[in-house]
Amino acid sequence: MKMKLAEIAKAIAVKNDITKWQDVEITSVAFDSRNLAAGALFIPLMGQSDGHRFANAAFENGAAATLWATDHEVTTTTDQPVLIVDDPLQSLQELGKYYLHKINPMVVAVTGSNGKTTTKDMIASILSTQMNVTKTYANFNNQIGVPMTLLSMEPNTEAVVVEMGMDHFGELDFLSRMVNPDVAVITMIGEAHIEFFGTRDKIADAKMEITHGLKEDGTLVFNGDEPLLIERTASLAQQQLKFGRQLENDLYATSVNAATHEITFTVNQWPEEDFTIPMMGEYNVNNALAALTVGQLLHVSVGNMRQALANVELTENRAQWIQGTAGEQILSDVYNSNPTAAKQVLHAFAQTPTTGHRIVVLGDMLELGDASPRLHASLADEFDAAAISDVYLIGPQMKVLYERLIEAYGTEHLHHYDVENKQQLMNDLEKQIQPTDVVMLKASHGIHLETVLQNLAD
């Protein structure tokens, strides 16, 4: 981005006179005073700490200006540009929407209980073969991350792929109306955040909010294997395209060959073409089908789509293979977890070829509410002691799964740890793991299994 403060002040209704600073040029936005580029506009957000406290540090690190809430006394120690607004977060969102309209790219919005980050990466890879594309960084997919994504666009951006997350009603409605997508994508309906919604029906209702800002001539791309979505899209006026494994979909897989580090598949639309994605798990075929549907809709050639999927750059820690220090292969899927995703990864991992042992490390799945014991226990269906030899569980919720597995595994091959005993878990793993083993790590982000990954891989 590149905007002068005079333009920004007009876009977000600044309360104070900024005439003497109106020609100051802003080249980025940032809400972390420690990590910003020279020329940034600092956004002091209210979180665990009050962002206003770090405005001086932001200026010291190169910020060109800062927003400032009207209910805070200005305390910057230098005569630096300060733009006073009612609410810095709301102003960030307004500026993102303004800049989106200014650049006017094609907008693809992606949500779903599982697979939205991978699908976002695949769509961006496909579109990038023929367009200048910006995509959501990491999982910047909330009320802060979405406007930050919009404001990261270069002036020549032709398409922006925006990931959208939610855990309460109204959040996708807000984000969808912010970006007014040309294409909205729903990957699937699972049980993530069921604590807040109670049922999968209500989760489906919440996911459908992504259509609330969908342009009248826009298109909804969704998983046609999901009856809850079929029901809810029946009355939608916009064009709809379905992907999945069933023959009733517009795009479906006709064959799938899953290997350890890649999957090759064919589809009905281009029966002579083989598509390959560099990841494990047959469930990822649906994510690729969603991306192919968007690519076809936006007139990307089949050759470009095939090449883009084969070379897609995936967001870190999403079913990523890493070599450990002992020589073992580690499947890192530590960013997040929910019952549907955990079952999918376990099923794929149990079929991973190895001359050693398959070892699983699972941490609690959070935000499952009253259904948590039942959903943690349900993971037992994916365990076969003949396929997965050793299981390490961490967190209070995983105690239920431990009790389900103890008869099949015994205490020699099944272990449970409290979260505060993570170091003991790491010590025990290090003692057991051999170079020929394969290890899987998965948990909700709040369990921080990335520390276990670092210990095994550094």
233 annotated ligand binder:
no
Per DSSP, the three-state class of 88 is helix
Distant-in-sequence, close-in-space partners of 125: CB < 8 Å, separation ≥ 6: 291, 308, 309, 311, 312, 313
Residue ranges of E strands in 82-203 = 82-85, 106-111, 133-135, 159-163, 183-186
**Residue 120 labelled as part of a binding site:** no
Q: Is 446 annotated as a binding residue?
A: no
Closest listed residue to residue 447, CA positions, set 346, 324, 334 = 334
Give the residue from 280, 105, 246, 128 showing the smallest Cα distance to 180.
Answer: 105
Count of CB atoms situated within 10 Å of the CB of 407:
8
* Amino acid (one-letter) located at 277: I
How many angstroms separate the CA atoms of 384 and 444, rounded? 23
Taking alpha carbons only, the member of 235, 236, 238, 275 closest to residue 256 is 275
- Cα radius of gyration (the chain): 24
| d(C-alpha 300, C-alpha 183), whole Å | 15
Q: Which residue has the tokens 């609330």?
A: 212
Q: Is 116 labeled as ligand-binding?
A: yes
Name the pairing type of β-strands 320-323 and 329-333: antiparallel
Cα–Cα distance measured from residue 236 to residue 392, given in angstroms and rounded to the nearest whole number: 46
Give the CA distances from residue 309 to residues 277, 292, 312, 397, in Å, rounded to whole numbers and listed in that order.
5, 9, 5, 37
Annotation-wise, does 96 bind a ligand?
no
- Chain CA centroid to CA 12, Å: 28
Q: CA 108 → CA 113, 159, 220, 302, distances in Å?
A: 17, 7, 10, 19
Q: Tell whether residue 115 is among the known ligand binding residues.
A: yes
What are the strands, taking DSSP E only, across 200-280?
Answer: 219-223, 239-244, 251-258, 263-267, 275-277
Taking the C-alpha atoms of residue 140 and residue 312, their distance in angstroms, rounded to an integer, is: 19
339 within 8 A of 368, measured Cβ to Cβ: yes
451 annotated among ligand-binding-site residues = no
Cα(437)–Cα(167) distance, integer angstroms: 37
| Feature table: binding site for ATP | 112-118
| Feature table: binding site | 112-118
